């Protein structure tokens, strides 16, 4: 049996134990729900706006890169009109511009990837905080990501409520 299956079976036993073997003195039964994190993340208005900003920055960088490429093309076209000695100097200049272009593309990718990663981390922190607040307010003992569930009933899905709460809070703060 693989580690994943063993861990899954163990997780199921722990959950079953939590549900069925609660302390007899507990005032209320355990309330469990699940959320589709991907749907919450993708449906969150702040996520959509953040990705639009990153897309805009990416397009700007792409235009800058295209301008550098056009410069290299123009320089290569000039090569044909030059003497051998001039051509060698021009080729060295072209090689420098190509390195500059490669550095630019690499740095742009790293910067955009870093910005996207940081943005996603912050958004997931916000989502988890709202899920925590929602859980406390509504008396949930346990909220699980739907990715780990083998079987689920719609009545325990809190995805829509969490997404509505996130978006309403965001709309209030972004005005």
State residue 145 phi and psi, 5-degree precision: -70, 140
Q: What is the pLDDT of residue 143?
A: 92
* Domain spanning 3-173: CATH superfamily: Skp domain (3.30.910.20)
Q: Residue ranges per domain, the chain?
A: 3-173
The percentage of the chain sitting over the pLDDT mark of 90, rounded to a whole number, equals 60
pTM: 0.71
pLDDT category at 12 given cuts 50, 70, 90 is low
Q: What's the mean pLDDT when you consider all of the chain? A: 86
For residue 81, the surrounding DSSP H or E stretch is none
């Amino acid at each position: 049996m693989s580690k994943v299956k063993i861990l899954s079976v163990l997780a199921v036993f722990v959950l079953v134990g939590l549900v069925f073997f609660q302390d007899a003195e507990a005032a209320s039964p355990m309330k469990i729900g699940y959320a589709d994190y991907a749907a919450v993340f993708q449906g969150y208005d702040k996520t959509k706006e953040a990705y639009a900003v990153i897309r805009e920055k990416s397009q700007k960088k792409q235009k800058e890169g295209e301008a550098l490429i056009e410069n290299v093309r123009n320089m290569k076209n000039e090569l044909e009109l030059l003497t051998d000695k001039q051509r060698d100097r021009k080729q060295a200049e072209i090689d420098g511009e190509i390195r500059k272009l490669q550095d630019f593309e690499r740095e742009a990718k790293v910067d955009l990837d870093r910005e996207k990663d940081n943005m996603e981390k912050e958004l997931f922190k916000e989502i988890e905080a709202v899920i925590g607040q929602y859980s406390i307010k509504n008396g949930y003992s346990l909220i699980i990501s739907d990715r780990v569930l083998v079987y689920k009933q719609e009545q325990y899905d809190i995805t829509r409520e969490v997404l509505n709460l996130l978006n309403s809070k965001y709309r209030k703060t972004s005005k």
